[in-house]
Structure 1
Amino acid sequence: MHRSIRKSESGINSNISGHPYCVSVLKEGYCTAEPDGSFRADGTISLITGPQNILVDTGGPWDRDFLVEKLKEKGMTPESVAIVVGTHGHSDHVGNLGLFPHAKIIVGCDISVGDRYLPNQLAEGQPHPIDDFVSIIPTPGHMGRDVSVLVKGTSEGTVLVAGDLFERCHDEDSWKELSENPQIQETNRQKALQIADVIIPGHGPLFRVHKQS
């Protein structure tokens, strides 16, 4: 059976309730071109709260005070975060890892606690489960070892915090200019659209995935 897929930004709150995990967008990422040919960019920062508190992407180093304040608004401190995921190694996504020295750190396919690096199979294309509801899945393309975070059981269904797998909802072909491997990234984008009900992209508002038979 063939299913058509369309995407829509409408009708989703940036705080998604769920059981046992809720997902909140602390900062919506952006990317805007400048007249001199440069561009301004910052990555989306997302917080998953539940049995374990998980921060996905930390923004750039310029976001340090902003991030601490946003956590405070949630009744949290950096020490409250058990796991920090950097979807990939660009500075606008991992610029504040230093706030979380005691958390488990997952950046791309590296998983570490302090200076101890843990075995995993992300680089071989296998997901890394956190528990029955949250897993880290490999989604390379933008860079060689990008990952995304899949959260099941929310009020909006399955949420994928996708880093720069998607720049934004309607990124058309613009994402290809920043991709190390557009063919692999396109394959992973299509897989993401099949498994997720909501996608949180790296540089724009979250969006809904509509699947129709």
Structure 2
Amino acid sequence: METDSEGQCVPLSETQLDFPGEPYSVSVLKVGFCLPQTDGTFRADGTVTLITGLRTVLVDTGGPWDRDFLLRSLKDRGLDPGDVDVVVGTHGHSDHVGNLNLFPAALLIVGHDVSEGNTYRPNQLAEGQSYSIDEHVCVCPTPGHTGQDVSVQVKGTSAGTVLVAGDLFECCNDESSWRDVSMNPAVQEVSRQEALRTADVIIPGHGPPFRVLRK
């Protein structure tokens, strides 16, 4: 179990993927993974998360190979791609933003870019300021894994504040691995500590959700 100065990671049951709340609920549609192979390669896919409530927000879309899975998962919840108001790509790696083209009508937030169609909105993500979707949901800059990583913070769920963190955290017990895939470990460590200080549950990029217990 990983222990950080700001909090302790506690794995949740791998079946605990839904966090109901008012006015927003959070559901993990797909748990990401990263599996080293014997030939030196690795197989990986990013976590896909749906936030529903006043607006419908999809955080990360998986890789292009997840297209049919993603469409089916939305349909199972009574949704078409056109029903998704906001799509957030936590960073630009192919296993996290491989299906952005399914959502041409959505507000797209990818890294520090905020766009509707081909119109880009001014924002202060690059200056370290959050981008508010509303008073309950915001997109927070959490750099380190890449220079423009963002996470999505959702307040008011049954589990408290949920942070959909992309690859800020690989998984709960990632202390031996996250630095190896980090562009800037020192910066990422700061982002991780802030997440552990403020979130009650973290949804990482390549593993099931985990709870944060603060000292």
TM-score range, shorter chain: over 0.9
Q: Structure 1: 5+ residue runs without aligned partners?
A: none
Structure 1 residues 98-131: Cα deviation after superposition (integer angstroms, max 9, x where no partner): 0000000000000000000000000000001111
Deviations 1:66-122 (A, max 9, x none): 000000111101111000000000000000000000000000000000000000000
Q: Does 1:102 align with 2:102?
A: no
Partner of 1:132: 135
Q: Is 2:62 aligned against 1:59?
A: yes
| TM-score, scaled to structure 2 | 0.96
Identity %: 61
* 1:18 aligned residue: 21
Q: Give distance in 2, aligned partners of 1:91 and 1:209.
A: 28
**What's the counterpart of residue 122 of structure 1?**
125
- Runs of 4+, deviation exceeding 6 Å: none
User: Deviation per CA, 1:52-71, whole angstroms, max 9, x where unpaired?
Assistant: 00000000000000000000
Q: Secondary structure at the match of 1:192?
A: helix
In the TM superposition, residue 4 of structure 1 has moved relative to its aligned partner by: 5.8
Distance in 2 (CA, whole Å) between partners of 1:5 and 1:146 is: 21
Q: Is the 8 A contact 2:6 2:193 kept in 1?
A: no
Report the alpha carbon displacement of residue 10 of structure 1 after superposing the two structures with TM: 2.6
Alignment TM-score, normalising by the size of structure 1:
0.97
2:158 maps to which of 136, 155, 160 = 155
Counterpart mapping for 1:63-102 below 5 A:
63-102=66-105
In 2, the alpha carbon distance for the partners of 1:199 and 1:43 equals 14
SS at match of 1:161: strand
Partners of 2:120 and 2:201 in 1: CA distance = 31
Task: Summarize the alignment of residues 21-32 of structure 1 with structure 2, pairs less than 5 Å apart.
Answer: 21-32=24-35
RMSD of the TM alignment (CA)? 1.0
Alignment pair present for 1:204 and 2:192: no
User: Which stretches in structure 2 are left out of the alignment for 5+ residues?
Assistant: none
The aligned residue for residue 11 of structure 2 is 9
